[in-house]
Structure 1
Amino acid sequence: MTLNGHIDSGAWSVQAVTSPGPQGGFRCEVNVSHGSQTQRFTHAFAHHRVFESEREAVLEGLREGMVWIDLKIRHAFEL
């Protein structure tokens, strides 16, 4: 089974999708995007941890994506 979560404000969005880990547990792939439709920036990354439950994985993936969006909007880093 795969869980996914999505948070969207219009100006930005975060999506987290879980998958079984290769050696047990669950991993999470995070996709973030922000900007206008004509200048949309997207970035995808795997969460660095493996979780015991899918619920933990999707919630932590959404949290990590929100942190990433916050840092990007504050210009903490440039990609």
Structure 2
Amino acid sequence: MALKGTIDAGAWRVQAETSPAPQGGFCCLINVAHGTPEQHFNHAFAHHRIFESEVAAVLEGLREGAVWVDLKSRHAFDV
């Protein structure tokens, strides 16, 4: 069973979802979205670590997504 978490900050939304890792533990898929239906931006990526617990995986995924949003908002990179 996957554990899911969401941060909804008005224009930005961060979602994190866990899944079992093949070698044991849990991995996390992170999805960040922004914009209106006409100009929707979506970016998904996997967290680079494997976690011992689902709770740790989803919390770290949400944190990583929030950091990504902060960097994107500051124009630190262009995707």
AA matched with 2:40:
R
Identity of aligned residues (%): 70
Aligned residue pairs, count: 79
AA matched with 2:59:
L
Structure 1, unmatched stretches of 5+, are: none
Which SS does the other structure have where 1:43 is aligned?
strand
Give the CA deviation at 1:38. 1.9
Give the CA deviation at 1:39. 1.3
Alignment of 1:60-75 (within 5 A): 60-75=60-75
Aligned to 2:42: 42
* CA deviation map 1:23-52 (0-9, x unaligned): 100000000011233211110000000000
Distance of 1:28 and 1:71 partners within structure 2: 20
Which SS does the other structure have where 1:70 is aligned?
helix
The farther-off stretch of 66-75 and 34-43 is 34-43
Give the CA deviation at 1:9. 1.6
- After TM superposition, what 4+ stretches of structure 1 lie above 4 angstroms from structure 2? none
Structure 2, unmatched stretches of 5+, are: none
TM-score (norm 1): 0.95
Give me the CA root mean square deviation.
Answer: 0.8
TM-score (norm 2): 0.95
